[in-house]
Amino acid sequence: MLHCLGLVLLRSGRREESIQAYRRAYNNYKETVGITYHRFGAVCGKIAEYHTSLNQFEAAEYAYETPVYNPRLANINYSHFFDEAYKAYTSHLHPHYLPELARHHFIQGESLERRGDHAAAQASRAKAQELYNKIAPQTYAAVLGLDVLNALVAPWVW
Amino acid sequence: MDGKPLYELGLKICSESPQYMLDTRADIVFNLANVASETNNFPGTLEYVKEHLDLRLRLDEGKLLPSADTGIAYSSLGLGLLLTGNYEEAVRQCDISIEIYSQQPDTLDGSFYPTFPHIHRAMALTGAGRPQDAEQGLLGIIQWREAQYGPDDTESFK
């Protein structure tokens, strides 16, 4: 319900109240259904989008998870919320959540672009495009956008 | 572990004595609708929720009032419709659900609040571009839950 309220308030233009509802939904999901539930991933995505919109890349709640240098991850600044979303969408035996995963890679690409990491942003958007082509091979989107990806997922993810 | 084969076996058993196992069949179809909606099978969800409502209406024949199960069947139809993009019709079905619940004894005495019809209605209104009309029903859920379980409860993920 709090998840739903977050979306309703967001779409009503009440962004600060919306993020409060999403934070409460985040805590509720964590304490009830757990962190592998796909809608927990959706809430993580919404919180990540909020911080991206404010350029809060280094906010405590949006902390980088690469405190120790790792060459393999040098160009990938996975944030806490993006990482949690990714885990929620990929921790199942069946690939039910590929549309959510495509959207996840897209918004992460937007975030990486906004913070100036163009190479990582391009890689993330390429993953989104690859998944989109797999999910919707009968359609064609030259430039992926949130509207195209939102059409593939339930409103809870919007 | 995928529960769907077990539900499908249940349906097969029910089909052997259809006139005596309508309620069991309805329960199974309801669960299959939930499996479909939680795994991004939106057209499948719509098929199951339509069958579920049909079964509940048959079970209600001869009763003075529709049952709470029929109330949830209308709410589920709302879910199936909103997941397939038919938002205004989804709102109408959720309104029927809320009306049915309003006549149930546990709703009347305040020991129950129809959460899902309000959630599905709010999502459908958001999809229809009228999120500002969705808030009131959701606030009703919050007020009821706070009265029952206190603030920021973890009683359930609802």
Query: Can you list the alpha helix ranges (DSSP code H) found in B61-104?
Result: 68-83, 87-102
Tokens, residue B3:
């529960």
With a CB-CB cutoff of 8 Å, which residues 103-132 of chain A face chain B? none
CATH fourth-level superfamily of B4-149: Tetratricopeptide repeat domain (1.25.40.10)
Cα within 13 Å of Cα(B32), Cβ side: 23
Q: Residue B97 pLDDT more than 80?
A: yes
Residue A57 has pLDDT above 80, yes or no: no
pLDDT at A62: 44
Q: Which amino acid is at A65?
A: E
Please state, for a pLDDT cut of 90, what percent of chain A lies above it.
Answer: 65
- How high is the pLDDT of residue A54? 85
Name the phi and psi angles at A25, rounded to 5.
Answer: -65, -40
Q: How far is A48 from chain B (nearest CA, A)?
A: 21
pLDDT mean over B25-30: 97
Looking at the predicted structure, is the pLDDT value of residue A66 above 60?
Answer: no
Indicate yes or no: CB of A1 within 8 angstroms of CB of B142: yes
Cα–Cα nearest to B114, from B82, B81, B73, B86: B73
Which range is least confidently modeled, A135-139, B102-106, B137-141?
A135-139
> Token pair for residue B98?
């809320």
Give me the residues of B, 16-45, that contact A with CB < 8 A: 37-40, 42
Handedness of CA B79, B85, B90, B91 (dihedral sign): positive
Is residue A49 within a helix (H) or strand (E), and if so which, with residue range? Answer: helix A38-53
Give pLDDT, residue A125.
95
- The ipTM estimated for the assembled molecules is 0.92
Average pLDDT over residues A133-144: 80
B134 class by beta-carbon count within 10 Å (0-12 exposed, 13-18 middle, 19+ buried): buried
| More confident of the two residues B126 and A142 | B126
- What confidence tier does B140 reach under pLDDT thresholds 50, 70, 90? very high
Residues of B in contact with A37 (CB under 8 A): 157
Look up residue A64 and give its DSSP letter. B
C-alpha angle A114-A116-A119 in degrees, rounded to nearest 5: 110
Say if CB B70 and CB B58 are below 8 A apart: no
